[in-house]
């Protein structure tokens, strides 16, 4: 029986639920000492005094470190704008100013208190609109001197850290003669990744090499970024990843590793550093807050003729990976629905707030919020049904995105609408009920294409070792996806496949757990490696069984002869024979998804030019609004999702339930906003994550339109379910209340205000 499509229980589950799994924060090394960071208490200002002498005198302190004794260079992902420690100027609350390392964490805390820090506070640049104002102080007055990563071209100016502009030139003319123009502005606040395990690192420096123990989504990026920051060769760094307690994008770039590395080298002992929850919340690269303005020209039949979309994205004090994300507005402004021609502008703004960055569904969450709220508005303006308007403009097979990329399987969207109609008939769910509303939202999303590899080695007992730096970020991509693919390829049980935890010394490059790439990309790499392993197995077994390789098959841990059940040899015997005759059986496979073709003249600053391995999604939310408190109850949630091929349906349902849960948090609960440039929410009590009682059981309908290149047709699965949730809910609440909700999160306060406003209207 095939393992592909089988809901095999994941091998790491028992260790996790019984507390036996060893997480990054559990790592302890002999002789290990403890570091803590002195962080800026204000969002903007100048360092007047930084006197660390008394900190050195604290009992148990081994070293104190500031910008003066840290690597001098500015580094980054796209723009080299950030030093390890603030020198002279602080740019966000929580920015590291100094580090101490001591025998105990308590001593390190005492030492921090002994540091004398005087700051001259400046008026912070608080938000993207203020940052854009020419009268505003520059967060980086020397921005023009900063280097940009090799090969990247994009415009920067003043507080604009990156700009992406696409203007085909014919947009204004279409608007000028359009029968209807509909215009909106949408705002979304930040979202904290709020993983269980705070950021941490243990670094050991010995023999000129740094060994980094960190539970991370992208170990090779830790290697590369650490090398960049420290100014050493990548081969001088080894990254070892224990079990990770969640990442959701915040653990793709380096975090605390460089501080531990600098200090470990200084004191010659392994150094551990861990954020407390407040530090983590204040300094985590949360999902950016954004403002999206959107305008559409529409004809009488509801056809969209042209569109204009402008997006301001707040990257905080340093650009991080945000210049890459400035491409997302162009991809989402004109996919799912045909929009004719479109002008799209995206600007990434420096402010005196914590740097933002990738979070599950990067940019898609608020852009889909804008596009799909706007669709409801257009439908209302035209007096047209909301579903009908969507169907009229829906993409079909072969339609092009605004980048010129052709979406071959776009007709899957129509399939998704049809499937949704079967499980939640529109006329039925939208039958008028007081304070009850329904929202729809569709999406085309990508599968991250970046490279990965896997080495398969047949052990001498017939089990399989898999050496890869693909990371199990909790999604099951390794524990279920890759394990099942490897087992299926070689006729093994999943429990006979052992996947090595990531170690950059052992495995070849892997681009980490991001953009749902692991099952798709590394699964494809495993299939390549498995073909070679299978060939070697058959070569050896053919001699052992004295038959032709063409007659052999792999079944239940044996090599058998097709049509002759009596003639078979266990894989362990084959492996032992091979090892001591022709040599051990092992092979490596590598894969990278080719980038789909696009029109390179379509935009400037388009650092992420196309959407590889697209997937298709439709979400439906039903809500009820409490007339007393304005609280929103999501009473039904349905997801129709194209996954290419469901390797493990239970795993996929779990990822969709989780993605929707995170999306409901973004839609309703997870408020992360500012008092000036300081976060108002400073604990997990006021930064409210949804609890089990706030989330309905998500109904999942899978569509399996195979991807020709994916393993068994599998596409990316786990990232996109978070994306359309906020707008499905916001559309439903707007429908229930009869007023537009154009700001995220949608709060009971806003609902009550709207209910009262509605009552006052005649």
Partner 1 sequence: MDFRRAGTTDEIVSILAEVGPDATLLAGGTDVMVQYLRGEIAPKLLVHIEQVDELAGVDEADGRVDIGALTTHLTLSEDPVIRRTVPGLAEAASQVGGHQTQAVGTVGGNLCNASPAADTAPPLLVADAELRLRSAAGTRTVPLDRFFLGRRHTARRPDEVLTSIAVRPLPSHAGETYLKVGRRGAMEVAIVGLAARLVLDDDGDVVTDARLAVCSMAPRPLRLPDAERLLVGSRGEPEAVAAAADAVQETTEPIDDARARAAYRRRLVPRLLAEAVRLCMRRARGEEESWS
Interaction site with partner 1 (CB under 8 A): 627-629, 631, 668-669, 680-682, 685-686, 688, 690-694, 747-749, 752-753, 756
In the complex, the smallest distance separating the C-beta of residue 50 from partner 1, rounded to whole angstroms, is 24
For residue 372, what are its two tokens? 């799909």
Residue with tokens 């507080």: 159
Say which residues have a Cβ less than 8 Å from residue 105's Cβ, sequence separation at least 6. Answer: 34, 36
For residue 676, what are its two tokens? 């000036």
Rounded Cα distance between 180 and 729, Å, is: 26
- Please say which residue, 6 or 753, places its beta carbon nearer to partner 1: 753
- Please say which residue, 170 or 276, places its beta carbon nearer to partner 1: 276
- Please say which residue, 277 or 535, places its beta carbon nearer to partner 1: 277
In the complex, the smallest distance separating the C-beta of residue 755 from partner 1, rounded to whole angstroms, is 9
- Please say which residue, 549 or 753, places its beta carbon nearer to partner 1: 753
Q: Angle at CA 736, nearest 5°, toward 730 and 737?
A: 90
In the complex, the smallest distance separating the C-beta of residue 424 from partner 1, rounded to whole angstroms, is 24
Nearest to 637 by CA among 576, 548, 562, 727: 727
In the complex, the smallest distance separating the C-beta of residue 127 from partner 1, rounded to whole angstroms, is 18
- Please say which residue, 181 or 739, places its beta carbon nearer to partner 1: 739
For residue 728, what are its two tokens? 């499905």
In the complex, the smallest distance separating the C-beta of residue 688 from partner 1, rounded to whole angstroms, is 6
Residue with tokens 């499509």: 5
Nearest to 477 by CA among 446, 504, 512, 443: 512
Q: For residue 475, is it left (φ>0), alpha (ψ between -120 and 50) or beta?
A: alpha
- Please say which residue, 599 or 694, places its beta carbon nearer to partner 1: 694
120, 284 Cβ separation under 8 angstroms: no
Nearest to 443 by CA among 378, 385, 380, 375: 375
The SS3 assignment for 666 reads helix
- Please say which residue, 142 or 759, places its beta carbon nearer to partner 1: 759
Rounded Cα distance between 282 and 647, Å, is: 38
Rounded Cα distance between 707 and 328, Å, is: 22
- Please say which residue, 694 or 704, places its beta carbon nearer to partner 1: 694
349 pairs with which residues across the strands?
Answer: 160, 314
Nearest to 589 by CA among 531, 538, 633: 531
User: CB-based burial of residue 573 (10 Å sphere; 0-12 exposed, 13-18 middle, 19+ buried)?
Assistant: middle
- Please say which residue, 357 or 658, places its beta carbon nearer to partner 1: 658
In the complex, the smallest distance separating the C-beta of residue 696 from partner 1, rounded to whole angstroms, is 11
In the complex, the smallest distance separating the C-beta of residue 748 from partner 1, rounded to whole angstroms, is 7
In the complex, the smallest distance separating the C-beta of residue 316 from partner 1, rounded to whole angstroms, is 20
Residue with tokens 């997302």: 328
User: CB-based burial of residue 9 (10 Å sphere; 0-12 exposed, 13-18 middle, 19+ buried)?
Assistant: middle
In the complex, the smallest distance separating the C-beta of residue 518 from partner 1, rounded to whole angstroms, is 32
- Please say which residue, 668 or 725, places its beta carbon nearer to partner 1: 668
- Please say which residue, 107 or 552, places its beta carbon nearer to partner 1: 107
In the complex, the smallest distance separating the C-beta of residue 746 from partner 1, rounded to whole angstroms, is 11
DSSP readout, 625-644? E-TTT--EEEEEEEEEEE-S
DSSP readout, 431-451? S--TTEEEEEEEEEE------
In the complex, the smallest distance separating the C-beta of residue 689 from partner 1, rounded to whole angstroms, is 8
For residue 538, what are its two tokens? 């058959």
- Please say which residue, 502 or 630, places its beta carbon nearer to partner 1: 630
| Crossing angle between the packed helical segments 523-545 and 571-580, to the nearest 10 degrees | 80
In the complex, the smallest distance separating the C-beta of residue 462 from partner 1, rounded to whole angstroms, is 46
Nearest to 640 by CA among 610, 617, 672, 674: 617
Rounded Cα distance between 288 and 194, Å, is: 14
For residue 572, what are its two tokens? 């362990």
Nearest to 657 by CA among 718, 610, 616: 718
- Please say which residue, 480 or 751, places its beta carbon nearer to partner 1: 751
In the complex, the smallest distance separating the C-beta of residue 290 from partner 1, rounded to whole angstroms, is 22
Nearest to 273 by CA among 220, 204, 222, 192: 204
Sign of CA dihedral 315, 606, 414, 643: negative
Rounded Cα distance between 707 and 647, Å, is: 13
In the complex, the smallest distance separating the C-beta of residue 287 from partner 1, rounded to whole angstroms, is 19
- Please say which residue, 236 or 631, places its beta carbon nearer to partner 1: 631
């Amino acid at each position: 029986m095939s393992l592909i499509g089988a809901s095999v229980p994941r091998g790491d589950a028992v260790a996790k639920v019984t507390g036996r799994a060893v997480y990054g924060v559990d790592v302890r090394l002999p002789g290990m000492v403890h570091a803590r960071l002195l962080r800026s208490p204000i969002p903007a200002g100048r360092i007047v005094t930084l006197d660390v002498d008394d900190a050195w005198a604290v009992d148990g302190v081994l070293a104190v470190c500031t910008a003066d004794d840290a690597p001098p260079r500015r580094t980054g992902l796209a723009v080299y704008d950030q030093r390890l420690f603030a020198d002279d100027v602080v740019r966000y609350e929580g920015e590291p100013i100094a580090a101490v390392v001591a025998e105990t964490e308590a001593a390190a805390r005492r030492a921090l208190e002994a540091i004398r820090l005087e700051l001259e506070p400046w008026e912070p640049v608080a938000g993207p609109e203020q940052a854009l104002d020419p009268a505003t102080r520059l967060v980086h007055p020397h921005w023009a001197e900063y280097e940009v990563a090799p090969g990247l071209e994009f415009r920067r100016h003043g507080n604009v850290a990156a700009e992406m502009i696409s203007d085909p030139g014919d947009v204004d003319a279409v608007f000028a003669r359009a029968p209807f123009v509909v215009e909106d502005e949408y705002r979304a606040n930040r979202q904290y990744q709020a993983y269980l395990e705070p950021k941490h690192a243990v670094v050991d420096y010995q023999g000129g090499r740094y060994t980094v123990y960190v539970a991370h989504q992208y170990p090779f990026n830790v290697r590369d970024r650490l090398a960049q920051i420290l100014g050493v060769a990548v081969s001088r760094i080894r990254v070892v990843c224990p079990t990770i307690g969640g990442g959701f994008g915040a653990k793709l770039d380096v975090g605390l590793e460089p501080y531990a590395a600098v200090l470990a080298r200084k004191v010659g002992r392994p150094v551990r550093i861990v954020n407390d929850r407040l530090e983590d919340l204040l300094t985590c690269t949360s999902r950016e807050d954004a403002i999206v303005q959107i305008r559409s020209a529409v004809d009488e039949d509801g056809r969209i003729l042209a569109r204009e979309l402008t997006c301001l994205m707040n990257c905080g004090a340093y650009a991080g990976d945000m210049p890459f994300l400035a491409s997302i507005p162009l991809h989402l402004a004109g996919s799912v629905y045909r929009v004719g021609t479109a002008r799209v502008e995206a600007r990434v703004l420096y402010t005196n707030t914590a740097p933002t960055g990738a979070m599950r569904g990067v940019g898609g969450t608020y852009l889909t919020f804008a596009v799909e709220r706007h669709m409801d508005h257009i439908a209302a303006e035209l007096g047209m049904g909301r579903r009908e308007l969507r169907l009229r403009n829906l993409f079909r097979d072969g339609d092009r995105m605004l980048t010129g990329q052709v979406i071959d399987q776009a007709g899957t969207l129509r399939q998704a609408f049809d499937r949704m109609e079967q499980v939640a008939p529109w006329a039925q769910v939208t039958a008028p009920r007081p304070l009850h509303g329904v929202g729809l939202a569709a999406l085309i999303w990508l599968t991250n294409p970046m490279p990965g590899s896997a080495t398969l080695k047949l052990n001498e007992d017939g089990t399989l070792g898999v050496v890869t730096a693909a990371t199990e970020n909790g999604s099951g991509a390794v524990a279920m996806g890759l394990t099942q693919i490897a087992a299926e390829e070689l006729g093994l049980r999943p429990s006979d496949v052992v996947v090595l935890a990531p170690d950059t010394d052992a495995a070849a490059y892997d681009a980490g757990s991001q953009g749902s790439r692991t099952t798709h990309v590394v699964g494809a790499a495993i299939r390549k490696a498995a073909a070679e392993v299978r060939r070697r197995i058959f070569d050896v077994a053919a001699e052992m069984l004295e038959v032709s390789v063409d007659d052999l098959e792999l079944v239940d841990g044996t090599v058998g002869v097709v049509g002759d059940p009596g003639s078979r040899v266990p894989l362990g015997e084959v492996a032992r024979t091979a090892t001591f005759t022709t040599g051990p059986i092992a092979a490596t496979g590598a894969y990278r998804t080719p980038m789909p073709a696009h029109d390179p003249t379509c935009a400037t600053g388009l650092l992420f030019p196309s959407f590889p391995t697209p997937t298709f999604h439709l979400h439906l939310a039903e809500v009820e609004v409490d007339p007393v408190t304005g609280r929103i109850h999501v009473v039904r949630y349905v997801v129709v999702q194209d996954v290419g091929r469901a390797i493990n349906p239970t795993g996929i349902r779990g990822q969709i339930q989780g993605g929707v849960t995170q999306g409901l948090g973004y839609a309703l609960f997870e408020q992360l906003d500012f008092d000036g440039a300081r976060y108002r929410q400073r604990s997990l009590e006021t930064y409210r994550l949804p609890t089990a009682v706030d989330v309905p059981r998500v109904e999942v309908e899978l569509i399996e339109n195979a991807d020709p290149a994916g393993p068994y047709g599998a596409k990316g699965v786990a990232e996109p379910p978070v994306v359309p949730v906020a707008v499905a809910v916001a559309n439903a609440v707007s429908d229930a209340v009869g007023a537009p909700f154009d700001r995220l999160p949608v709060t009971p306060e806003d609902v009550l205000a709207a209910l009262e406003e509605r009552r006052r209207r005649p």
